[in-house]
Structure 1
């Protein structure tokens, strides 16, 4: 797989993350669960920014960015803050794995960017209740 392929794979994952975080945010209340709402909003904003940066990287590499899917599968039950938190934790764990793959597939500035994204995903995963991992994303 080429570096551009890895960028495209990561972009596809970010398209999904933006979709899922939008759905998770819609299942929370700013007044009832302000901390969860703030964490989901911050994560949504960050993943949207990363998606846009990846689009720019793919274009800079001379490729056409992969489009988002028309929809993504969500868990059937997101009716409690605990279930929403569990899904957000899994989403960040998946993001860490995707960024670890990007780190392994790229070099220079792109790799440095991917390392920062991997570390951020690992910290966000902890914020949603994950246990620390020596090698996040692997």
Structure 2
């Protein structure tokens, strides 16, 4: 897989993450669950900035950024705060794995950026109520 292919794959994942965070945000309440609402909002903002940066990286690598799909499967019911929290946690776990694949396929500034973003998503899992992991994004190493 080339660096451009890995960037495109990561960008495609970010499109899905943004869609999912939009759905999660619609299923939270700033008044009823303010901490969850704030966490989902912060996650959305980080992923939006990540998506925008990936678009620029793809263009810098000579590619045409992959477009977002019309819709994505967000999986399972999202009717309660714990369900929304679990979905956001799973989303960040998936993001770590995708970003680490980009780390493995890239060098220099792209690798540094991807590692920084993977670290953020791994740490953000703690903010979402997840447990600390020895090797986030690489469960086969546990």
Bin for the TM-score computed over the shorter chain:
over 0.9
Deviation, 1:31, is 0.5
Do structure 1's residue 126 and structure 2's residue 126 form an aligned pair? yes
Deviation, 1:137, is 1.1
Deviation, 1:65, is 0.5
Do structure 1's residue 112 and structure 2's residue 112 form an aligned pair? yes
Determine helix, strand or coil for the equivalent of 1:134.
coil
User: Structure 1 residue runs of 4+, over 2 Å off?
Assistant: none
User: Residues 16-60 of structure 1: CA distance to partner in whole angstroms, max 9, x if unpaired?
Assistant: 000000000000000010000000001001100100000000001
1:36 is matched with 36
Measured in 2, the distance between the counterparts of 1:135 and 1:30 equals 33
Deviation, 1:125, is 1.2
Deviation, 1:75, is 2.6
Deviation, 1:130, is 1.6
Determine helix, strand or coil for the equivalent of 1:32.
coil
Determine helix, strand or coil for the equivalent of 1:16.
helix
User: Residues 73-128 of structure 1: CA distance to partner in whole angstroms, max 9, x if unpaired?
Assistant: 12341110000000000000000000110111100000000010000000111211
Structure 2, unaligned runs of 5 or more: none
Alignment: residue pair count: 138
Give the TM-score of the pair, scaled to structure 1: 0.98
Q: How large is the RMSD of aligned CA atoms in angstroms? A: 0.7
1:19 is matched with 19
Give the TM-score of the pair, scaled to structure 2: 0.95
2:135 is matched with 135
Measured in 1, the distance between the counterparts of 2:135 and 2:74 equals 27
Deviation, 1:4, is 0.5
2:45 is matched with 45
Measured in 1, the distance between the counterparts of 2:27 and 2:46 equals 19
Measured in 2, the distance between the counterparts of 1:15 and 1:75 equals 16
